[in-house]
Amino acid sequence: MCYMIIHMGWTIKYYADSYGILPVRDFIDSISPEAQAKFIFIADLLEEYGIGVKEPYVKSISGQKKLFEIRIKDRVNIHRIFYFTYTGKTLVLLHGFTKKTDKAPQGEIRIAVKRMEEYIAQRR
């Protein structure tokens, strides 16, 4: 199961677990309205320009050639949403979290990688 947002050329999909839960959508619903507005702005950029969007909005994750992060900062917190590009012009949102350290914790990256692998395996 997968839910999606379709816009000008690139499609953003939310990873869904085996129960149909969309963890990134739930994460976005939990962050401040200011952070949600920034997410919408960056998602619009991604839908229009796809892999052409760069810092300060998105950044690749070092050591993970397929994994990228959406970078959101509000007045209080720094949030990250991991995603990867899939076949065609598709971006799949995998995992979101609020950053507490300078670097993305390895545990958060592992969650995103596991979900990416599950997503790809479901489509084979």
The structure tokens listed for 24 are 């990134």
What residue spans define the domains of the chain? 3-122
Backbone angles phi, psi at 49, to 5 degrees: -110, -10
CATH node for 3-122: 3.30.2310.20
Whether pLDDT at 27 is above 70: yes
C-beta separation of 2 from 46 below 8 A: no
Whole-prediction pTM value? 0.91
The angle formed by the CA atoms of residues 47, 110 and 82, to the nearest 5 degrees, is 15
Over range 110-121, report the average pLDDT.
96
Residue 96 clears pLDDT 60, i.e. is over it:
yes
Residue 16 in 3-state DSSP? Answer: coil
Could you tell me whether strands 90-99 and 11-14 are parallel, antiparallel, or unpaired per DSSP bridges? parallel
Residue type, 19: Y
